[in-house]
Structures are given as structure tokens and as C-alpha cells.
Amino acid sequence: MKKTDTADLWWKNAVVYCLDVETFLDWNNDGVGDFAGLAQRIDYLAELGVTCLWLMPFYPTPDRDDGYDITDFYGVDSRLGHHGDLVEVLRMAKDRGMRVIADLVVNHTSDQHPWFKASRSSVTSPYRDFYVWRKDLPTNQPETVFPGQESGVWELDEKTGEYYLHRFYRHQPDLNVENPAVREEIAKIMGFWLELGLSGFRVDAVPFFIEGDPGAVAGDEYGDPHDYLKSLRAFLGRRTGDGILLGEVNLPREEQLTYFGGEAFDELTMQFDFVAMQKFYLSLAREDAAPLAEALASRPRLGQPAQWANFLRNHDELTLDQLSDAERDEVFTAFAPDEDMRVFGRGIIRRLPTMLSGDPRRIRMAYSLLFSMPGTPVLFYGEEIGMGENRDISGREAVRSPMQWTPEPNGGFSNAKPRRLTAPVVDDGYAPRFVNVAEQRHEPGSLLSFIRTLIRTYRNSSEIGWGDFEVLDQPNRAVLAHVVSASEGRMVALHNFGPDPVSLELTIPDTAAGTRLVDLLTTGEVTLSDDGAGRFELGGYGYRWLRVIEPGSRRLY
């Protein structure tokens, strides 16, 4: 892969914000969020500090899987607006220095997609090979993504008497990505949206996407699936120069590196760090930093054109599938004690504030950690104000309730009658009358103000996105101490996973006598001894960001 100009690597220190247009703001009061509403909140996102907006699917859909069942990859769902409304959002975002990416969902289509309707019309249809068909039911079936909701991944089509593959729901038949015609269509889909102004894509369920037919053998006539991923990255590079592929790859570390493209780093640009996310919750449950420290230390070292994306919550269930059974039970017991808080036997359907019983100390410590970990932070809409989930909405969609703008009954999301809303508003201790943007926006002590401060400090600390990472040795099991270092500077971050105050001695490597560590989130500093040691105080669930200031440096912080 050719050397990339660092100016093109905008995503190395971006702030990514994920939202569903359908649940963000309804501007025409029909009960469904729309692009016109999103346009009214672009300034809010810019004020928050967002630099990259990630849009969940907005394409035409029967909406049986919250928009991930698509009937037209080139369209905009009419409930949300039209192409002109989307382009206006893209223009407004660009004017404010904000990039926009969107979900690329090409593992499957809706069973109502014209391609699938043609495919199932006849075994001789030219679209038959757009999907994966079998005359006989395969005996060795891969696991379904949704255990308990789907009993298998092959569904009999009564009309043609053959079975089609669906790794997800039966109404979402898998595309046959080994078919050159399908690959060409996917490239056209990407090219279309890039021309309208997108800066890349969040690629849904990448391993399922590039695997295609589970019965195929890698290296057959279609070639290695990773070669296909390389070709998509190359296509993106030719069309944009600095576009990104942010991949959903929930696999062990050694396999994740493969999806970056190995040492060439010519496949996915970024990957979500599912391993660190899951170990973070184990550390929270145990009040022991060791699981997260080990997860961060185990990250493969990445070349400059690659990056980890850090997150505490996404739009799906909070999956714990990479923990052992015993570890998963620990997290369930701590944060999802009731069975209806869990899903698929592997995940939690709650948002962070409810899992932490609304404890502001733990919530703020968690977000301080999110923004100080090496990599790029990703927020899910509503996190910045501490929204809760709505368990009246079934399954993993419990966290996709309408955004809460004001204390009004509908939270300022819509003036439609509650029964017409695309999803019910939270109606408990996290309801809009208690949690909303309007009341937090000008309150210095609010979570929203705190998140703004974290974002501003993160954006002023380029070493977090660009630097090398090291966990620092120290004696307290509840504390994670780490340093990130780059040519622009160094920063030390301390986080206490326990409820008790901590006083600890810490040695910062490679420091000169007289080096000072200046607090970035509050006032204060620590002067190190000649051997680089200093004493640091942390409150219960406390956190500190400290800039390393060498003697003679003219930096203020």
C-alpha cells in the first residue's frame, strides 16, 4: 500500500457519532425522524465536537430489522425524506468540518428486494446467482446470528423447492458475494454514495459479508475473500483518496489483524475493539483494571494507515461473546441481573447509565476512559446526556428509543401523538423530564458539559489518536494507568475502577529531572523526582489526564 500523507488520516483523531435518522428528530410531525430534523441538529453535533457522523441505514425498507432489511441500495426511505434532504445534511456537515459515513449493509437484502423476487421466480432467473441456493438442505449448517429467533440458516422456498441462505433473519437472504455481478453492483453502490458526498462506510458484519457461501473453499475460482476486501479498499481510495472503511469484526485479536490486511494494512481502515469493550465491562464488574489492561496490551501494533475504534455502547446488544462463560456470568450478575435485560444468551440490552444505577462517578469515569484510550472514540446518540433504554421495545432495539431533546412528554422528538411515534419514548427515571438536552446544555455540571470537555481535551491531545501506548506498572489492582506518546507530546491517564480513594506512587518512564505532569481536566499538577516518580491521588471512581511537560518546554498544558 502506498504511503499515506498524514493530512489524509483525518479519522486518527476523529470523534464519531452514530445515530438513526428515524429516531433522532421528527421535523414534519408524522412520528418518524427525518433528514429535515437532522439538518436542524447539525449545529448541536458541531457544538458537541463531533467530527464524523455515522448514519445507520436510511434506505427503503419494510423495516422488519430496523432498516437493515433493504429493498433499494440506491434510495432514501420516503419516511425520512429524499436524496435532496440527504444532500442538504451532507452540505451542512461539510460546512462545519464534519465528515459523514453510512452503513454499508451488503451481506443480505430484504426478501422484498427486486433482486430476490426475481431470484425466487425461477431457477433459471438471471438473478438466481445473486443469492446462495441449495437443492438439498445442507447437513453441516453454520450457526445463526440470532439463536432462539432463528433455528437455522437455510430456508425452503416453496415456489422453487430449493433452500436459500440467511445468516441473519429468514426475511434477509444472503447475497452471493462470490458472484462477479454482485461484486460489481456493490462497487456501484459505494460509488453512488461517495459521489453524493459520503466519506466512507461502516461495514456491517464483515466476516459474514466476505465469506459468502459457507460451503465455498478459500482460494477456489473466486479467490481469497480477503482479496475482495482489498479491492473494495482500493476502490474507495481511488474514488476519495481519504475515505474509510470502519469494520464490524467481532473476532479474536489474531483474526482481527487479518481484516486490517496484515502488515500491508490495505483492507479495513478501522475496526471496533470488541475485545477491549467486553473486558472493560468485566473490569467494571470486578472493580479490577487488570482485564481491560490485558486487553489493551494485547492489541496488535498497527501501522499508520490503521486505527482502533473505541466504544462503550453501540446500537446492537452489548455483546459478551468473547468472554468465558464464567466471566459473562459475572457481567450479567453485575449489570443485567434480570433475564429480560439479556438477549441471545450473549448480550445486554441496557445502556450504560442504567447498568451503573445512575452513579455519576462511575459514568464519568467510563467516558473519561473512552476518550483517553488510544484510538478513535465512537458515541451512540443519547450517550452524551445519559439516556437510558426502553425495555418496552423488544430485544436489542431497546437502546434505539427516540432522542430526548426537551422535558416534554415526547422529549421534543416529535409533536405527533405518542402512538404514532416510530418507537416509544423512555418512561421511567430516565424519561425526558429527567434526562434531556435542553436542561443540560447550559448546566456546567451536566453530563453533556462533561462530554463536551472530554471531546475538546481529546481533540487537543493528538497523541491519543497517533501515539504509542503503554500500560504503566503500579500496585493498585483497581487502577489503570497508561501513557500515550507521540512526537507532539505525551499524556498519562489514570482511572480508578474502585469506590475507595487511592494514593499511589507511579514512575513515568523516560522523563528528565524536573518534569511536571499538568492536569488537563481540572487544575493541579505533579512534579516528578529525578527518577521520574511521583505521587498521585485519585478519588473513588476517579480519573485524571496529565500532560507530561519536560523542563524548558514552552507548553502551558
pTM beyond cutoff 0.95: yes
3-state DSSP assignment of residue 395: helix
Q: Is 325 one of the catalytic residues?
A: no
Chain position carrying cell 460509488: 191
Phi-psi group of 382: left, alpha or beta (phi > 0 → left; psi -120 to 50 → alpha; rest → beta): left
State the DSSP code for 144. P
Confidence band for 221, pLDDT divided at 50, 70 and 90: low
Structure confidence by residue, pLDDT tens digits, 83-126: 999 999 999 999 999 999 999 999 999 999 999 999 999 999 99
Residues 412-424, mean pLDDT to the nearest whole number: 97
Is 468-549 the same fold as 114-165?
no
Separation of alpha carbons 152 and 143, rounded Å: 7
- What does the DSSP 8-state code read for residue 388? -
Q: Is 454 helix (H, G, I), strand (E, B) or coil?
A: helix
Topology adopted by domain 468-549:
Immunoglobulin-like (2.60.40)
CATH 3.90.400.10 applies to domain 114-165: yes
Average predicted confidence (pLDDT) for the chain: 95
* pLDDT, average across residues 455-472: 96
Write down the domain spans for the chain: 10-108+199-459, 114-165, 468-549
Confidence of residue 326 (pLDDT cuts 50, 70, 90): very high
pLDDT, greater one: 263 or 80: 80
| Residue given cell 425522524 in the structure block | 33
> What average pLDDT does the segment 15-20 reach?
98
Task: Clarify whether 384 is annotated catalytic.
Answer: no
The CATH H-level superfamily of 10-108+199-459 is: Glycosidases (3.20.20.80)
DSSP H helices, 356-515, are 360-372, 437-440, 447-459, 463-466
> Which listed residue (85, 174, 248, 316) is catalytic?
248
In the predicted model, is pLDDT for residue 417 greater than 60? yes
pLDDT band, residue 2 (cuts 50/70/90): very low
Mean pLDDT, rounded, for 133-138: 94
pLDDT surpassing 50 at residue 3: no
Indicate if the pLDDT at residue 6 is higher than 90: no
Question: 383 — phi, psi (to 5°)?
Answer: -60, -35
User: Choosing from 178, 204, 288, 327, which is the catalytic residue?
Assistant: 204
pLDDT of residue 223: 75
Identify the weakest region by mean pLDDT among 2-16, 81-95, 233-247, 477-491: 2-16
